Chains A and B, each alone.
Chain A
Amino acid sequence: MWDDWRNSYSGPRPANGIKAKNQRGAIGETWWSKRFLEVLHSFHMGARLDRGRSYARKGQVLNIDIESGLVTAKVQGSSSRPYKVEIKLKELSKKEWEQVEKALVERAIFLASLLAGEMPKDIEEAFKEVKLSLFPSRVSDLKTACSCPDSSNPCKHIAAVYYILAEQFDEDPFLLFTWRGRTKEELIENLSLLRGVSADSGSKAKVDKAEEQTISSTAMPQVPIPSLSESLSNFWQARASFSELSFQPEKTSVPDAVIRQLEPLNLTIAEKNLQEIFLEIYKNLSNKAYEKAFNK
């Protein structure tokens, strides 16, 4: 029976790897991952690239690892052993990075966006100013290899990795820099240095620790419990008058402020962006809750 199945269908073996989040339509949510795929398409990979999409959606890419100048991945194809895929991209030299960093520091927006977890919109411009590029600029910048017998380039497996890579960029734009030879930490540290802040990592840990609190407790004032004997002597009564409290809700022009300040979540459900769904929920919720507040 296994053989029958093998004969009638020559697709890959089922696998439970990284499934592309977008199961329909285009892969790539952010401008930078879209730009990445756009660049690949411009290299005339066209139809061959598209073949990788269904692989990516089925979860054939088992793992992916991004480091300086090199992406490695394992992809489950039709043979029992997964294929090994490698995509090399020329990393920028130390000098080149220095040029880029100098250009970046000229505008506060670059470091500000990066620190806020977003890829600055004009980042390509900054690279161009020093005659460099963040994305591969010609097909020869990419050196690929796959252990499958298919000779076409890219094969289905490499193509699938490209798509998963794009989604990885969606989630963490800094991986693009990593691939180009700078981790997020290095980049931020260097930019800070250039801004005249001396390197001294002594206080860093402290800040991070404070940030580990849960969201709702971020700034909640801490009120301790009095000693047992004090508690017992005034156990039941409110310790001040209720009459000064007034929690009358007012309509707000920005019921979705909380969602709007978060970086966009690059996820969709039935082609609707999750962020948009949340914005709708918040508006609806605010109106309904207001009605509730004034109903008898």
Chain B
Amino acid sequence: MIILNVVWSESSNLTLWAESLLLFEQFLAKREKLKDKAASKTTKKQPEPAEHPFVCSTNSISEILGLFLQIDSKVSISKSTNKGKEVTTLFLPTSDNLPQPSHPLFRDLIPQHKPKDLSPWIVPALELKSTLALEFLLSLPNKAPTGIIFSDSLLFFSELAKFALKLVVQGKILPTLEKRQDSFFARWQPVVNTDAELLEAKQLMELMPLSLCWIIGTPKPTTSITTIFQLALESLVDGLVRQTLAGNKFFTTNKKYSSVHQEWLTALLSEPQIVADKAELNSFYKVVTDWHHSAFKATVGQLRTCFRLSEPPSDDESLEPKQTRKKTTDKSIDKATDKGQWKVEFLLQAMDDKSLLVPAENVWKTKGKVLKFSSREFENPQERLLTDLGKSIRLYPELESALKTARPVSLSLDTSGAYKFLREVMLLLEQSGFGVLVPSWWNRPLLRPGAKLSAQPKKSKGTGTNLLGLDGICEYQWKLAIGEQEISYEDFLKLAKLKVPLVKIRGQWVELKAEEIQAAIAFFEKKHLSGEMSVNEVLRVGLGLESEKIGVPVVGFETSGWLKNLLTENNEQKLNEQKAPKGFVGKLRPYQERGLSWLSFLHQLGMGACLADDMGLGKTVQLLALLMLDYQSLGKKANQQHPPTLLVCPMSVVGNWQREASRFAPSLKVQVHHGAERLTDKEFVEEAQKADIVITTYGLATRDQALLSEITWGRLVLDEAQNIKNPDTKQTKAIRSFAVQSRIALTGTPVENRLSELWSIMEFLNPGLLGSASNFGKQFSTPIERYRDKEKATLLKQLTQPFILRRLKTDKSIIQDLPEKIEMKVFCNLTSEQASLYQAVVDEMMQKIEKSEEKSIERKGMVLATLMKLKQVCNHPVQMLQDGSSVAERSGKLARLEDLIDEILAAGDRVLCFTQFAEMGKMLKIHLQEKFGCEILFLQGSTSKKARDQMVTRFQSSTGPAIFILSLKAGGVGLNLTAAQHVIHFDRWWNPAVEAQATDRAFRIGQTKNVQVRKFVCIGTIEEKIDLLIEQKKELADNIVGTGEGWLTELSNADLHQLVALSKDAVSETVAKTSTTSKKAKPKKASS
């Protein structure tokens, strides 16, 4: 875990430094060891500044930096940084001889006194030149990659860079000449002066981490937050302008004679320093300053000039009795004429109280230099107003006509003039720091002419093949409308004839842009005003995503029939409830019935559906019920060939699916297509066509793509659909290539928050709905992820919500359907490595016990040792081998655990994970901590009482770590861990009472949360067999509890063999590691 920090340097550059959790832990361990020794000696005071004990080298920092940059930038990292001078001195809060770590993740590891002061530390740091810094800041992903945490200081700078970019896009910059001692520099400065910009600047400053106020190497902070904010903003803006303009030529240079101003302009576009005659530069400096003052000097002071636009006085329209208006449209349109008489009034506005407005009339009446108004006094009001008016003429030449009198108070405008003021002048004036007040309706979206789409289900001809006769085809009509209101073509032409940009109709202002009127006329003369569309198209067109293609804005959208149902929010609640079909063994909870109805509804429309219910709500059950429903309905027409469902899932859940299918839908014929012994060629095709479900893995979907393509699938179901989150991988492409009639994606992660994943899954379910990937990026991902665009987020939700059903276990309507405690078995497969190790252990034991005497102590010991080894293998090969080799991707249980934790973290939940082995717990802690980039608590028997209490308190606190691994024989210590919503038993105690006790730590009477308990069982191993024994014979189980594992040693050789033997379906091939032709990997010799 690495925390990436930034700090500002004296030379005005962004500088990166980083703390490493690993180094910190090593440092703490070393310090602990030294403590005893040091106690005897007198502690030497460290020289100042000392080396910071847990920071990364500049090489590691530049490696991290490389993760975020384009390849060509990587080359330039070394060029654009401070290579050679790589350490710097930072003043950091220090106590107990230790610099305070920047992140709570570190701080929680040891108690440290509150720092009272800052001390200098030597820190390796990478100073970035402005181009590189900008590229880095603007390309920073929303979520830090695994193993890295973006500090708030870095996140702050990333926001500041966006603010700078916004200013540059808006042109809020000013070319300046900076004089530093005897040198001159051309610089672009930000101009922050509108109310909105000032507010944004303030927002930023108020959240800026204070660490940024300490510039590198200085013991004292900058004079104010504003100082550092401005320094940084100026530097970023200057860099951005140069970077953006690089390579552009705006003038031909005069080589013969270069004037100072040419040198200045050149320096604004390239290197900032200007070398020219000092005297000339000095006099030019004055020219530039005066030039700036011609506009910007004016904005300082207590007062500014404000322009207030007022609309013509409203006529008697509203007074007209309503009943006399029979043909409302006609009449109001006839009344809509250009009434002119708009006014721009001149006022003075107090800078510190924008509601304080003094009309020009009062200003001109002022005698003396002070204006008294509403108990305030303002200096030189006439001069202020006149100066501002004089400057405004440059922006708004029309003003001149109003200034021909001695005491002007306002400018009169006709409607076109007012429209220009609103559309263009207003912005100019605002950007220049003047106040502008306009009627409030201008700030709401204006009504405008456009097309209104009505869509309804196509009337079915005769009986379709589907249950409800739906086929996803809609009929549509276009109508001309202004706002939501339809308008006749004749009336519209009347409006167009007025040739005014703003018209008041029925008390509301309507914007009539000449080009929009033309577009609307062109659209409605083409007369393709009705036809058929798919649901996809209706949605995209109706929500306005295709307006450019259509040529007119879509101003209204109306639907009916099932289409309306589909598009309403929570559409699953509006459907006819589908009960659990015949042949489905088990009960569906009410929300599961709604889920089933929803899946079936979308299936009939031919639309893909994403069932994204929270984990533990029973997605598997709902899907199996749907398949059963199919089976039943097709059963009625028995002669019809029934195309099978292809279910693609991660390897770690193949066994689970198989087990669940046989339990809930035993009449379905399930074919598992994985493992080295899977069917091939014709044999596969024949079998698959007879099956109801074919289960395979993502890996095989790619590898056996050709084979799987030979079948036309009735339905393609993706479990853990986040596996296709990357649209460009072979795997995703293979899956999209299969010919299927209907698609379903199951996922427990909130897809709506991961946009590229959402796109990829939607592209699988309903191709084209979200547009091309690059368009989607511009239209949705970037605005939403980079800029938090709420409108776009809402639009995207409207577009996708008909096809995503996500219910949370915390939803009120769900909670009442749920038991307080849900217990589940999670069936895991072994990897082939685990399987061969398992086989080897079994073989070794059988060999030995056959030679040993029955009931001997030797045999007993051997059996117990073997059982232990088998448990270890089921957990993880490394646990048994203890060779310290790599942990990732070698255990079915671990793979399953990772998936679950991913979902748990995404839901913001907490989990307790129990294992009976301390070494397994430790392994899990280290591995998961790396993988998920968060702190994981680990409690074992040897943990001191004090540390134990601390962990419990932290886990229970709202900001504490979300994952708690416990390796502890149950009983004894009273731990209260009710913050957890999930309990996972990674391995089994073979003792229900012990498990229940552990579970109860998370589940206490009186707590309101629902708790999900998962017990991991390895398919086809001793784990599953003992689990069955426990399930089938509770009494026997109690006996087992009573006697521990001792009874196993009493079993005969044959019984023992039956119990431990590995059944065929245990193995789950790791695709990457097994080639198609290879036989089972050679068993590794188990170390004893």
The answer for the CA separation of A192 and B367 in the assembled complex, in Å, is: 10
CB distance from A119 to the nearest CB of B (A): 11
Q: Which among B207, B223, B364 is the interface contact of A242 at CB below 8 angstroms?
A: B207
Which residues of B, 232-269, contact A by the 8 Å Cβ criterion? 233-234, 240-241, 244-245, 248, 250-254, 257, 259, 261-262, 265
Q: A237 near B209 (CB under 8 angstroms)? A: yes
The answer for the CA separation of A130 and B174 in the assembled complex, in Å, is: 42
Residues of chain B contacted by A280 (CB below 8 angstroms): 250
Residues of chain B contacted by A257 (CB below 8 angstroms): 171, 395, 427-428, 431-432
Q: A221 near B404 (CB under 8 angstroms)? A: no
Q: B789 near A248 (CB under 8 angstroms)? A: yes
Stretch of A77-85, A139-147, A283-291 contacting B (4+ beta carbons < 8 Å): A283-291
CB distance from A131 to the nearest CB of B (A): 21
Stretch of B377-385, B524-532, B588-596 contacting A (4+ beta carbons < 8 Å): B377-385
Q: B230 near A285 (CB under 8 angstroms)? A: no
Query: Known contacts A240-B207, A270-B252, A293-B169; is A247 also within 8 Å of B225 by CB?
Result: no
Q: Which among B230, B262, B293, B427 is the interface contact of A269 at CB below 8 angstroms?
A: B262
Stretch of A7-15, A44-52, A271-279 contacting B (4+ beta carbons < 8 Å): A271-279
Which residues of A, 218-274, contact B by the 8 Å Cβ criterion? 218-226, 228-229, 231-263, 265, 267, 269-270, 272, 274
Q: Which among A218, A251, A262 is the interface contact of B169 at CB below 8 angstroms?
A: A251
Tell whether A198 is near chain B: CB-to-CB under 8 Å: yes
Residues of chain B contacted by A224 (CB below 8 angstroms): 224-225
Query: Which of B204, B211, B294, B364 has most chain A Cβ within 10 Å?
Result: B294
Q: Which residue of B lies closest to A113 (CB)?
A: B390
Tell whether B296 is near chain A: CB-to-CB under 8 Å: yes
Q: B171 near A252 (CB under 8 angstroms)? A: yes
Q: B172 near A258 (CB under 8 angstroms)? A: yes
Q: A296 near B782 (CB under 8 angstroms)? A: yes
Query: Known contacts A253-B423, A254-B424, A270-B252; is A216 also within 8 Å of B230 by CB?
Result: yes
Query: Known contacts A252-B427, A254-B427, A285-B244; is A113 also within 8 Å of B369 by CB?
Result: no
Residues of chain A contacted by B251 (CB below 8 angstroms): 269-270, 272, 277
The answer for the CA separation of A200 and B301 in the assembled complex, in Å, is: 19
Residues of chain B contacted by A93 (CB below 8 angstroms): none
Q: Which among B241, B293, B299 is the interface contact of A285 at CB below 8 angstroms?
A: B241
Query: Which of B118, B208, B222, B300 has most chain A Cβ within 10 Å?
Result: B300
The answer for the CA separation of A263 and B294 in the assembled complex, in Å, is: 6
Query: Known contacts A258-B191, A261-B428; is A286 also within 8 Å of B171 by CB?
Result: yes
Q: A106 near B225 (CB under 8 angstroms)? A: no
The answer for the CA separation of A195 and B265 in the assembled complex, in Å, is: 42
Tell whether A217 is near chain B: CB-to-CB under 8 Å: yes
Q: A221 near B165 (CB under 8 angstroms)? A: no
Q: Which residue of A lies closest to B197 (CB)?
A: A219
Residues of chain B contacted by A109 (CB below 8 angstroms): 390, 393, 400, 403-404
The answer for the CA separation of A109 and B163 in the assembled complex, in Å, is: 38
The answer for the CA separation of A233 and B115 in the assembled complex, in Å, is: 8
Q: Which among B102, B103, B787 is the interface contact of A247 at CB below 8 angstroms?
A: B787
Q: Which among A23, A218, A228 is the interface contact of B296 at CB below 8 angstroms?
A: A218
Q: Which residue of B lies closest to A214 (CB)?
A: B189
A112-150: CB near B (< 8 Å → 1, else 0) gives 111111100000000000000000000000000000000
Q: Which residue of A lies closest to B252 (CB)?
A: A270
Tell whether A94 is near chain B: CB-to-CB under 8 Å: no
CB distance from A208 to the nearest CB of B (A): 9
Tell whether B783 is near chain A: CB-to-CB under 8 Å: yes
Q: Which among B93, B176, B229 is the interface contact of A215 at CB below 8 angstroms?
A: B176
Residues of chain A contacted by B168 (CB below 8 angstroms): 285-286, 289
Q: A203 near B394 (CB under 8 angstroms)? A: no
Inter-chain residue pair count (beta carbon < 8 A): 342
Query: Which of A111, A204, A251, A262 has most chain B Cβ within 10 Å?
Result: A262
Q: Which among B170, B296, B394 is the interface contact of A252 at CB below 8 angstroms?
A: B170
Tell whether B1086 is near chain A: CB-to-CB under 8 Å: no
Stretch of B405-413, B726-734, B855-863, B884-892 contacting A (4+ beta carbons < 8 Å): B405-413
Q: A219 near B198 (CB under 8 angstroms)? A: yes
Q: B252 near A225 (CB under 8 angstroms)? A: no
Stretch of B154-162, B870-878, B948-956, B1021-1029 contacting A (4+ beta carbons < 8 Å): B154-162
CB distance from B260 to the nearest CB of A (A): 9
Residues of chain A contacted by B221 (CB below 8 angstroms): 225, 231
Tell whether B210 is near chain A: CB-to-CB under 8 Å: yes
B160-195: CB near A (< 8 Å → 1, else 0) gives 001101101111111110000000000001111100
Q: B210 near A216 (CB under 8 angstroms)? A: no
CB distance from B913 to the nearest CB of A (A): 29
Tell whether B226 is near chain A: CB-to-CB under 8 Å: yes
Tell whether A107 is near chain B: CB-to-CB under 8 Å: yes
Residues of chain A contacted by B404 (CB below 8 angstroms): 107-109
The answer for the CA separation of A165 and B198 in the assembled complex, in Å, is: 43
A77-101: CB near B (< 8 Å → 1, else 0) gives 0000000000000000000000000
Interface size on B, residues (CB 8 A): 127
The answer for the CA separation of A108 and B423 in the assembled complex, in Å, is: 27
Query: Known contacts A109-B404, A223-B225, A269-B251; is A195 also within 8 Å of B382 by CB?
Result: yes
Interface size on A, residues (CB 8 A): 100
Q: A105 near B192 (CB under 8 angstroms)? A: no
The answer for the CA separation of A258 and B296 in the assembled complex, in Å, is: 9
The answer for the CA separation of A224 and B250 in the assembled complex, in Å, is: 42
Q: Which residue of A lies closest to B168 (CB)?
A: A289
Tell whether A4 is near chain B: CB-to-CB under 8 Å: no
Tell whether B200 is near chain A: CB-to-CB under 8 Å: yes
Q: A220 near B155 (CB under 8 angstroms)? A: no
The answer for the CA separation of A202 and B368 in the assembled complex, in Å, is: 11
Which residues of B, 388-404, contact A by the 8 Å Cβ criterion? 389-391, 393-395, 400, 403-404
The answer for the CA separation of A262 and B297 in the assembled complex, in Å, is: 11
Q: A233 near B114 (CB under 8 angstroms)? A: yes
Tell whether B853 is near chain A: CB-to-CB under 8 Å: no
CB distance from A223 to the nearest CB of B (A): 4
Q: Which residue of B lies closest to A284 (CB)?
A: B248
The answer for the CA separation of A108 and B406 in the assembled complex, in Å, is: 5
The answer for the CA separation of A249 and B244 in the assembled complex, in Å, is: 15
Tell whether A21 is near chain B: CB-to-CB under 8 Å: yes
Q: Which residue of B lies closest to A213 (CB)?
A: B300
Q: B366 near A270 (CB under 8 angstroms)? A: no
Q: A115 near B383 (CB under 8 angstroms)? A: yes
B1019-1037: CB near A (< 8 Å → 1, else 0) gives 0000000000000000000
CB distance from B17 to the nearest CB of A (A): 13
CB distance from B1028 to the nearest CB of A (A): 50
Tell whether A67 is near chain B: CB-to-CB under 8 Å: no
Residues of chain A contacted by B782 (CB below 8 angstroms): 293-294, 296
Q: B382 near A221 (CB under 8 angstroms)? A: no
The answer for the CA separation of A246 and B777 in the assembled complex, in Å, is: 17
The answer for the CA separation of A15 and B290 in the assembled complex, in Å, is: 28
Query: Known contacts A251-B169, A272-B251; is A219 also within 8 Å of B368 by CB?
Result: no
Q: Which residue of A lies closest to B779 (CB)?
A: A294
The answer for the CA separation of A216 and B229 in the assembled complex, in Å, is: 11
Residues of chain B contacted by A195 (CB below 8 angstroms): 364, 382, 406
The answer for the CA separation of A223 and B210 in the assembled complex, in Å, is: 12
Q: Which residue of B lies closest to A234 (CB)?
A: B210
Residues of chain A contacted by B153 (CB below 8 angstroms): 236
Tell whether B970 is near chain A: CB-to-CB under 8 Å: no
Residues of chain A contacted by B233 (CB below 8 angstroms): 216
The answer for the CA separation of A246 and B432 in the assembled complex, in Å, is: 22
7 other A-B residue contacts (CB within 8 Å) besides A116-B387, A218-B296, A247-B200: A112-B403, A115-B390, A195-B364, A210-B300, A219-B193, A221-B201, A269-B254
CB pairs A–B below 8 angstroms (11 shown): A115-B386, A117-B390, A220-B226, A236-B102, A236-B152, A239-B210, A242-B155, A247-B159, A249-B166, A258-B174, A261-B395
Q: Which residue numbers of A lie inside 8 Å of B, CB to CB?
A: 21, 23, 105-109, 111-118, 171, 188, 192, 195-198, 200, 202-204, 206-207, 210-211, 213-226, 228-229, 231-263, 265, 267, 269-270, 272, 274, 277-278, 280-282, 284-286, 288-290, 292-294, 296
When A and B form their complex, which 3 residue pairs have the shortest distance between CB atoms, in order from nearest? Answer: A116-B390, A248-B787, A112-B390
